[in-house]
Chains A and B, each alone.
Chain A
Amino acid sequence: MTRKVLMQGNEAVVEGAIKGGMRFFAGYPITPSTEIAEMAALKLPRVGGRFIQMEDEIASMAAVLGASAVGTKTMTATSGPGFSLKQENLGYGCMTELPCVVVNVQRSGPSTGLPTSPSQGDVMQAKWGTHGDHPVIALSPSSVEETYHLTIRCFNLAEKYRTPVILLMDEIVGHLREGVSIPENEQVDIIERKLKERPDVFHLPYHVCEGEYVPRWHLTGYDVRYNITGLAHGVDGFPTNNNEIAGALVTRLVEKINHGYEDIVTFEEYMLDDADMMVVCYGGTARSVKTAVDMARAQGIKVGMFRAITVWPSPEKELKALSKKIKSVIVAEHNYGQYSLEVQRIIERPVGFVGKVDGTVITPDEVLAKIKEGR
């Protein structure tokens, strides 16, 4: 039986997270993500999980990683300024390979900007926000129902690749209320952290099995005691200044995500089969883009939409292939042109751009105007 309910995007995050196995949430109130913390506070103890409101965003990110380090599926949620504060420990999570989900319901910036207005201004920050080199997985939903499913997927990817995964929302979807269908007692695939099987490597937290890229995990508090550190470390988890070991570690962090490309990267193609023009977008922006494509099609314009669901790593292979047969490419996003740079890099030619930074939503008419101009 399917449950049809009216739900807010932020609420769907928590529904999905609990379904995905979340049992600990640490957060700090910030608009427009606060409802996620409120829902987590309400719902977690009902399933035996725990919620804590920490003293700041830095602490909530740290607490989430602490809980992850002892084997719990964890999440934190924030917006704009809070996402900036989380970067320090987000980097720690990437370096120490601690799974967790970080939700960023983007709002207009820079700085405190327009707290209740939509934006996609953190898309580059999601990839490059912390210091040092490391890859990132970021997923961006465009509807409430998709938010539910993507949140579950975030938890699965986090455990599978042992890395923080960012659910890159925007205020459009976060505060949107729409009907969603959630199958009752639905069997969803839940991925658990792979456990070490060989007792001789239980004490080596970063030992990677032959043919694998992700270190398996050993439960804290049993048999062995190991160290983890944000400093460059060897397979034994202890700090090292050895350049070869440090280089190999960062390379493996990059490769484990590169290697999972086909598994991680998801996207939606709409009306692209015969298209000679495509609008690339992600997140809430896709709602206007899809309508604009329909409007253009009604006028006989052969345009389609490519929506990156996995924003990072970007769907390079697909975009490259499409760019070979599609003449003109437009990127629509709620910022001054961030992802458009990534798309240009991939397709190696200039793109058209529709963007907004005043806190209002890009309308279908605005996208349609650009489509017509681009023709």
Chain B
Amino acid sequence: MASKLIDKYMREDHLPHIWCPGCGHGILMRNVAKAIDNLGINQEKVCLVSGIGCAARAAGYMDFQTMHTTHGRAIAFATGVKMARPDLEVIVIAGDGDIAAIGGNHLIHAARRNINITVIVFNNDIYGMTGGQYSPTTPTGDYGTTAPYGNLDRPFDIGLLAAAAGASYSAKGTCYHVPQTIKLIEDGIKHKGFALIDCLGVCPTYYGRKNKKGGAVEMLTRQKENMITAEQAYKLPIHERESKVILGKIAENDFPEFTEEYQKIIDRLVKQNG
């Protein structure tokens, strides 16, 4: 028993999902489904690739061709898929630890290469699957099970990182701003080139509890109240920006796309060789 959207894009026999009560991943996963539905993409031509972690479990729930791969490596697997089958719509769903720590190298190089893959980050500032360790996006001073005295690291802004690495499309969404985030995902999928949508998640079980941020409702309310647009945010000095919830596009450029450029080489050589 589910809505038409869920019925069409989720594997209902695998629901309810394993995510905790109030986990924002469910909201974000629905946003991905809604974006694909709005675009009217042939479901059979979508290949969803994920790595390891809470967010990566989306691959098991979403009714596309799905690959649940190794920790951090989703983008590298997805690159192979896209190279072999440029006709497929290749989408990666990943958590913040998955994509920005163990998979950070793959992220920046795929962005630089500008291969037509859309990466949607379910960024909840914590390692959830392993029980609440600090991640590359945990704010300085916040707590995790491996940061019992507060996190000393400075966090990545994954959206900004992707843009700096050359992603031709980069945007930031949230769990609270549903229609806006759906639109950002839609634009990312439509975009020809490497696209990343860094979506701020909600992890009440670990991040929320460890850092006295309240439950899911309080965390979502904070997203609503602290939101500023990307345009406003990146004009602010970094220390003022850090407490804000950023929504909107960071980069949108028309750069040559890798598989198209490669196809030009093939066409030229095959023609030459008769």
Contact = CB atoms under 8 A, between A and B. Distances in A.
Direct contact of A and B (CB under 8 A): yes
Interface of A: 23-24, 26, 45-46, 48-50, 52, 54-56, 58-60, 62-72, 74, 88-89, 92, 220-223, 225-231, 238-239
B47 A220 contact: yes
B139 interface: no
Give the one of A49, A65, A66 with max B CB within 10 A: A66
Given A46-B270, A58-B73, A221-B45, A65 B80 contact: yes
Interface in B68-116: 68-70, 73, 76-85, 87-88, 105-106, 108-109
B67 interface: yes
Nearest to A239: B60
B265 interface: yes
24 contacts: A26-B79, A49-B266, A50-B83, A54-B109, A55-B109, A56-B105, A62-B79, A66-B49, A66-B76, A66-B78, A67-B83, A92-B70, A220-B65, A221-B88, A223-B44, A226-B65, A227-B68, A229-B60, A230-B70, A231-B68, A238-B14, A238-B60, A239-B60, A239-B68
Given A69-B67, A70-B47, A62 B76 contact: yes
A22 B44 CA distance: 25
Contacts of A49: 266
Contact of A54 (B76, B108, B269): B76
A50 B266 contact: yes
Contact of B81 (A70, A88, A226, A238): A70
Contact of A62 (B43, B45, B77, B88): B77
B63 to A, nearest CB: 6
Contacts of A69: 67, 77, 80-81
B66 A227 contact: yes
A61 to B, nearest CB: 8
Given A59-B109, A238-B14, A228 B43 contact: no
Contact of B70 (A26, A64, A88, A225): A88
Contact of A52 (B60, B79, B85): B79
Chain B interface category by residue count:
35 or more
A62 B85 contact: no
Contacts of A50: 83-84, 262, 266
A49 B84 CA distance: 9
Contacts of B76: 54-55, 58-60, 62-63, 66
Given A55-B106, A70-B47, A221-B45, A228 B77 contact: no
Interface of B: 14, 43-45, 47, 49, 59-60, 63-70, 73, 76-85, 87-88, 105-106, 108-109, 262, 265-266, 269-270, 273
Interface SS, A side? mixed
Contacts of B60: 227, 229, 238-239
B131 to A, nearest CB: 18
Given A26-B83, A66-B49, 8 more contacts: A26-B80, A50-B266, A59-B105, A62-B106, A68-B84, A74-B80, A89-B73, A238-B60
A220 B174 CA distance: 32
Contact of B105 (A55, A67, A70, A220): A55
A315 to B, nearest CB: 33
Contacts of A228: 66-68
A89 B71 CA distance: 10
A67 B84 contact: yes
Contacts of A70: 47, 81, 84-85, 88
**5 cross-chain pairs, A with B, having the tightest CB-CB distances, nearest first:** A66-B80, A63-B80, A62-B76, A67-B84, A59-B76
A315 B135 CA distance: 48
A367 B43 CA distance: 63
B68 A59 contact: no
Given A50-B262, A56-B105, A220-B88, A68 B80 contact: yes
B64 A225 contact: yes
A58 to B, nearest CB: 7
Contacts of B82: 66
A26 B106 CA distance: 14
A160 B63 CA distance: 29
Contacts of B63: 225
Contacts of A58: 73, 76
A208 to B, nearest CB: 20
A173 to B, nearest CB: 28
Contacts of A238: 14, 60
A227 B48 CA distance: 9
A48 B270 contact: yes
Given A92-B70, A225-B65, A62 B44 contact: no
Nearest to B59: A227
A71 B106 contact: no
B165 to A, nearest CB: 11
A368 to B, nearest CB: 48
